[in-house]
A and B are shown apart, each in its own frame.
Chain A
């Protein structure tokens, strides 16, 4: 079983703060790394994905992967109340001819106005 560890929170920050969300994993077979955002009672929405170690930026969001430490992060700059959601990390691995995803349990974030 390939496992992913993610702190469930909840995490509460004031509006405008920088948010850091993290996941660790133990299996080097994971190849692609993703972050999903899930609002209450909605389906997860793909935010960002990356393959290699390093940073990938998209607006206020930065995804960071450190394969040597088996550690990934999502940073949110200038956080807004609309960022309040549960953030799920996910990692893909190839098995039986297809790619599968293993998800973290999600971190619930609240951004307070």
Chain B
């Protein structure tokens, strides 16, 4: 089945620790995105990548880092510099064009 997978579904982290969220797609899409979703705030763009080995900051990149070494993979690291990391994280991919994006199931990160 073609699609986007995110792992883990739930993640718990202690304050001061870095954590990496996985995102994999087998849709052969060029572009990939990371969003953060908080209650009442909608989706906010963290980082995006249009091609391998290239990525750009979104609206709320501070405290996050990404890599794009393979077309299929776009992991997100939430660093200890992120002041309020507890949120629902969504990965998406797109063929480009009009910007139709397809989302993974999400990872719920909780900082203890």
Do most interface residues of chain B lie in helix, strand or loop, or is the interface mixed? Answer: strand
Interface string of A17-53 (1 = CB under 8 A from B): 0000000000000011010100001111110010100
Q: Report the Cα distance A43→B35, complex, angstroms.
A: 11
Indicate whether A70 reaches chain B with its CB closer than 8 angstroms: no
> Given the interface contacts A51-B98, A97-B50, A98-B50, does A103 sit within 8 Å of B42 by beta carbon?
yes
Determine whether the beta carbon of A101 is less than 8 Å from that of B101: yes
A32 partner residues in chain B, CB cutoff 8 A: 98-100
Q: Contacts A98-B31, A98-B50, A99-B98; is A45 near B45 (CB within 8 Å)? A: no
A45 touches B98 (CB 8 A): no
Q: A88 to B42, Cβ gap below 8 A?
A: yes
Asked if B42 and A104 make an inter-chain contact with CB atoms under 8 angstroms apart, the answer reads yes
Out of A99, A103, A104, name the residue touching B97 (CB < 8 Å). A99
Question: Which of A49, A51, A88, A92 has the most B CB atoms < 10 Å from its CB?
Answer: A92
Contact A99 B106 (CB under 8 A): no
* Chain A residues proximal to chain B, CB less than 8 Å: 8, 31-32, 34, 36, 41-46, 49, 51, 88, 90, 92-94, 96-101, 103-106
